[in-house]
Structure 1
Amino acid sequence: MTNPLSATSPLPSGNILPTGREYLRVSKDRSGRMKSPAQQHDENKKSCDRHGITLGEPYTESKAVSASRYSDETRDGFERLITDLRDGRFGADVLVMWESSRGSRRVGEWVTMLDLLEDRGTLVHVTTHGRTYDPANPRDRRTLLEDAVDSEYESAKTRGRIKRDMKASAAEGRPHGVCPYGYLPVYRSDRRALDTWKPDPERAPVIRELFERLRNGHSFKSITRDFAARGIVNRKGQPFSHQHLRDMAAKAVYAGYRAYLPKDQKGKGIKPELIEGTWEPIVDRALWWDVQRILSEPGHQSKAPRPGRVLHEYTGTVRCDVCRGPIGTVSSGQPGVLDYKCAIGGCLRIRKADVDEVITGVILAYLERPDVYASLTAGSTTTAEVQEAQAELAQLRAELEEAENDTPATLGEAKAVGKLIDRLTGEIADVERRVRELTAPGDLMALIEPGADVAKRWKAAPVSARRKAAAILLTPEHLGQVRLTRSPVRNTRVPAHQRMIWDREARDAA
């Protein structure tokens, strides 16, 4: 195909006026120096008028998006352009761009476009060059390819500079990203550069309350309902969702930490580095770490809301002595009266209120003891010890999950994987016991303060808090695991304490 427009001349040949279609794109830029699509079009129009090109419908991106090879975003306008060139629907003689980098900063992508333009006999007009190029002309093609290489190189240099700046900013603990709920941005005198964040007098108390209630055993559901009833809303004026509150509870920013993780490490299961931030924390570090421990518990691993409301203190802890299975709550057949029943095989059944009375009495008597109060308030455990143990536990659990999901190819590999799973399971049990020993005093103090009048505090605490406290105390390290047995005399009701075993073998063996 012979195009009437000469690639080296600004004037069309003959009496035929060539047609052109623009590709307009603006990068994400805060400097104000980049040309907007409207500004690009104005300059393109002036240049095309001088060169005798009649402009048609342009290709425009729906949003500002980078053209570099480091961007994961889709350029819908560019994709339409390539598709039209490939399918013969471009419908013009010239592709018009304000500058070469507006097309692409990826050499491979640029070559594909030039090949399609050459196949269709379509020229390229670059406004900032004041020239029209023919991709079929070797010299013109080399010039356009050199532009592509330069653009990709500049993009790589920019990315490297940004990464260095971000790393330096992170090392200094400077704030980054959108200002979190509970804070207000503080700008420098020019109002362009962010200096720091400061607690929002109206919203920071909401964050403190969230963390304190989580440490005190309140569930996300109960907090969500209470916030909604009190008219506490997010920045969009909508009630907080369970997931939104959970995400906020995991943010290190509220403890004054800058969480830094390079972009190329995201999605690989690597935890971000916590760096001392330059802004004032909303919650103290001890409270924040307490909540992180709570969020790391198995029941909180899933981000989905937990079904139902916690109604009973001991159903998650008491076990069946016959099959070692969990105990559930069922109706006794009498209005308002409940029974405990083995949830697996129905091995046994016993009146719930009788069992609860015995367990509660033992717990309260234990928490009233002066020696127990002294040990729980000693505060000898350091945050560093807890963090180290929890990090080890998280790593072991990840290794176990990987081993369990492995598909051995041979019998020998299967045996090796089996041994690995057994070893990891034992190590996890040991570390879990160590974590409980390290964290139990602090967790108990946050849930139920021992000492005088503990019975009054126990009764006033939410069921979720009593349930967590029971899970800590009803273990071999403290009071022992409670297991229910069958009645020694068939069809005869015996006192509940005679059907209860307080297993402390693991503690005694240690």
Structure 2
Amino acid sequence: MTTSTVPLRVIIYGRVSKAEKGKRAKSVDDQLAELRTWALDQGWTVVGERRDDGVSVSSYGGLKVRDGWEQVKVDIASGEVDAVLVWETSRASRDWMVSGEFANELIRHRVRLGIDERLLDLTRAEDKKAYFDGVTNAQYEADKISARTKRGLKTSRAAGRPHGTVAFGYRRIIDPETGKTVGRGEDPVTAPIFRAIVADLLNRRPAEAIARELNERGIRTAAGNTWTGGNVSRMVKRPVYVGKRVHAGVALDVETTWPALISLADHQALVEMYGSDARDHWRTSKVVNSLGTGVFHCGAQGCDGTVRIVTPPKTRRDRTKRYQCRRCYKGWLPQPAVDELIDDLMIARLSRPDVAEILAADAEADADVQAAKDEVARLKLYVDELRESAHRGDLSVADYASMAKRANADIERLAKAARPRHLPPALADLVEPGVDIRTAWPALPIADRRVIVDSLISVELEPRGRGGHEFGPDDVTVAWKTTA
């Protein structure tokens, strides 16, 4: 049935996906205008207009919630409309399940469907067939588009061409004749800023302090947002900065077309330094005001958690803040006493007359671990290559598992030797000749003291109950990371 001479109350609906915007697809305004004209020609009354801009209905788009479409379903159930008009079948849905549910709602409430200037009554077999033929054709077109897109992306990956948004530090390279993007290169403004961020992080400057400075200078992220310590540390771990293309979370072993901004060794050091996204949160001066939060470790057997500050309840007579493990909740050592012990220990060790020479020797020793870092980086890329071979079917799953297990064992063995040992700038200032450590150390910002402590020593707090023995030095185990 193509037309109706009976006055109808109709809802008109238009939609365009984000991917279709700016292309030759008909805009939502144009869709609604055509539907409005059709309704006027038929003498129908438009009782509502619903729209969704930039929302995909394809299963490849994740079947996102459509506010306009949800309102259409409310309109159908209200009993106050006789028909829903859409410009073409794909504007409603390409998904079989969604289309089936929609058809059932129309039939249940005896609401007709207008598509391509045809008014369908889905209680009629021939109209129902016409509707689902349209759904099939729309899904077929979506499948073809998806297949073409995947082939194009596969070719792009093999050629090492970039994909996705432009990372901070890079810029698009535009062909002056066609105006199309042909690649990516270093951005003369943001690339030096990125390298400065990397240098600061390797020197143990808190990511939160770096983010605060970037915001104060009016520098924004690649997406135009303000910086946080978290997005600073996450950014520098991205493989794109060592010239690696990533697919499905795996760095591909292909020769890419854009330059690396940092070395493999520095990237590996940053990945190890910020292996956990939560770690940097607890290193920042913005959220902590103690030496040990997120830095000191629990000494309970089998637990490798870090500690936090807890305040005893008001019902307790002694409400001194205490360190407690975040993982096993043991500890309960008094925070002021522990911090005072560590402060005294750092002052004593850094007051030694030969400390500058010893720390300099440790800095030189960093060069000795370079081979271990490079080997770890090589092995990780090797594991990525094995995974890609398994995905392509060139390597059996069993062989991949066996070879990757051996490589990962070597990575774990070399990881300790490859750990970064960069000493923070604040420490270099402390050991300058003539500096009185006893007055200089307490005057340092808590962020600098935390970074220095974390770079020089490992601290474990022995667990005890809430009503345990009096605190003593034996409750704290300290291991020096340097020979100082």
The alignment's TM-score, normalised by the length of structure 2, stands at 0.67
Q: Which residue is 1:466 aligned to? A: 452
Tell me how many residue pairs correspond in the alignment: 407
With over 3 angstroms needed to count, the CA separation of the structure-2 counterparts of 1:110 and 1:299, relative to structure 1, is: closer
Corresponding position of 2:314: none
Which of residues 40, 55, 59 in structure 2 aligns to 1:65? 55
Query: Shift of residue 386 of structure 1?
Result: 5.1
Moved more, 292-301 or 302-311: 302-311
Distance 1:163 1:429 in 2: 35
> Deviation of residue 47 (structure 1)?
3.7
Please, which moves more after superposition, 348-357 or 209-218?
A: 348-357
Question: Contact 1:20 / 1:95 at 8 angstroms: preserved in 2?
Answer: yes
Measured in 2, the distance between the counterparts of 1:327 and 1:34 equals 56
In structure 2, do the counterparts of structure 1 residues 389 and 100 end up closer, same or farther at CA, with 3 Å as the change threshold?
A: closer
1: CA distance, partners of 2:92 / 2:453: 61
Q: Is 2:35 aligned against 1:44? A: yes
2:114 to 103, 111, 125: 125
1:435 aligns with: 415
Change (3 A) 1:216 1:176: same
**Are the counterparts in 2 of residues 21 and 56 from structure 1 also a CA contact under 8 Å?**
yes
* Corresponding position: 1:78 with 2:69: yes
How many angstroms does 1:64 deviate by?
1.7
- Report the Cα offset of residue 282 of structure 1: 2.9
Q: Which residue of the other structure, out of 10, 23, 26, is the alignment partner of 2:13?
A: 23
Letter of the 1:213 partner, please give it. Answer: D
Task: Give the SS at the match of 2:23.
Answer: coil
**Is the counterpart of residue 249 in structure 1 residue 233 in structure 2?**
no
Q: Distance in 1 between the 2:380 and 2:120 partners?
A: 65
2: CA distance between counterparts of 1:390 and 1:309?
40
Is the 1:250–1:292 Cα contact (8 Å) retained in structure 2? yes
Q: CA deviation at 1:279?
A: 1.7
Contact kept in structure 1, 2:21 and 2:27, CA below 8 Å: no
- Once the two structures are TM-superposed, the CA of residue 376 in structure 1 deviates from its matched residue by 4.0
Matched residues in 2 for 1:454 and 1:249: separation? 28
Alignment partners' CA distance in 2, 1:157 and 1:304: 49
Alignment correspondent of 1:295: 274
Deviations 1:238-261 (A, max 9, x none): 652223323322333233322221
Match for residue 286 of structure 1 among 243, 265, 270: 265
Structure 1 equivalent of residue 46 of structure 2: 56
Cα distance, 1:140–1:300 mapped onto 2, change above 3 Å? same
SS at match of 2:241: helix
Please, what is the CA RMSD of the aligned residues? 5.0
Change (3 A) 1:503 1:24: closer
Maintained 8 Å contact 2:356/2:432: no
Looking at structure 2, the residues matched to 201 and 112 of structure 1 have their Cα atoms a distance apart, in angstroms, of 54
The letter for the 2-side match of 1:203 is T
Specify the SS of the correspondent of 1:143. helix
Does residue 205 of structure 2 align to residue 218 of structure 1? yes
Using the TM superposition, give the Cα deviation of residue 33 of structure 1 relative to its aligned residue in structure 2, in angstroms.
1.4
**Match of 2:376, SS?**
helix
The aligned runs of 1:197-346 (5 Å cut-off) are 197-234=184-221, 239-261=226-248, 273=252, 276-296=255-275, 300=279, 307-308=287-288, 316=296
d(CA) in 2 for partners of 1:121 and 1:327?
A: 64
Are residue 186 (structure 1) and residue 160 (structure 2) matched?
A: no
| Contact 1:24/1:61 (<8 A) preserved | yes
Counterpart position of 1:456? 432
Q: Do the aligned partners of 1:221 and 1:305 also contact (CA within 8 Å) in 2?
A: yes
Structure 1 residues 62 and 192: alpha-carbon distance in aligned structure 2, compared to 1, 3 A threshold: farther
Q: 8 Å contact 1:133–1:140 — kept in the other structure?
A: yes
| Other-structure match for 1:331 | none
CA deviation string 1:335-381 (max 9, x = no partner): xxxxxx997567x9987666335533376554455xx6775434332
Are 2:160 and 1:173 equivalent residues in the alignment? yes
1:444 aligns to 2:421 (yes or no): yes
Amino acid at match of 1:294: M
Give % identity: 20
Contact 1:367 1:454 in 2 (8 A): no
Letter in 2 for 1:117: L
Query: Is contact 1:24-1:40 (8 Å) kept?
Result: yes
Q: 1:99 to 1:226 in 2, by over 3 A?
A: closer
The reply on whether 1:116 has 2:105 as its aligned counterpart is yes
2:96 is matched with which residue?
A: 107
Distance 1:377 1:166, change over 3 A: same
Greater C-alpha radius of gyration: 1
CA contact (8 A) 1:253 1:259 kept: yes
* Gap change, CA 1:383 and 1:59, over 3 Å in 2: farther
Q: CA–CA distance in 2 between the matches of 1:32 and 1:245?
A: 35
Q: Give the AA of the match of 1:220.
A: A
Confirm or deny: 8 A CA contact 2:243 2:256 kept in the other structure: yes
> Structure 2: where are the runs of 5+ without partners?
309-322, 325-330, 384-407, 463-472
Instruction: State how far apart, in whole Å, the 1-side matches of 2:121 and 2:85 are.
Output: 12
Take 1:182 and 1:74, find their aligned partners in 2: how far apart are those partners? Answer: 35
Residues 79, 299 of structure 1: CA spacing in aligned structure 2 closer, same or farther, 3 A cutoff?
closer
In the aligned structure 2, how far is the partner of 1:135 from the partner of 1:319?
A: 70
Q: 1:228 to 1:100 in 2, by over 3 A?
A: closer
Task: Could you tell me which runs of 5 or more consecutive residues in structure 1 were left unpaired when the two chains were aligned.
Answer: 1-6, 262-269, 329-340, 393-427, 476-480, 484-495, 505-510
Q: State the TM-score, normalized to the length of structure 1.
A: 0.64
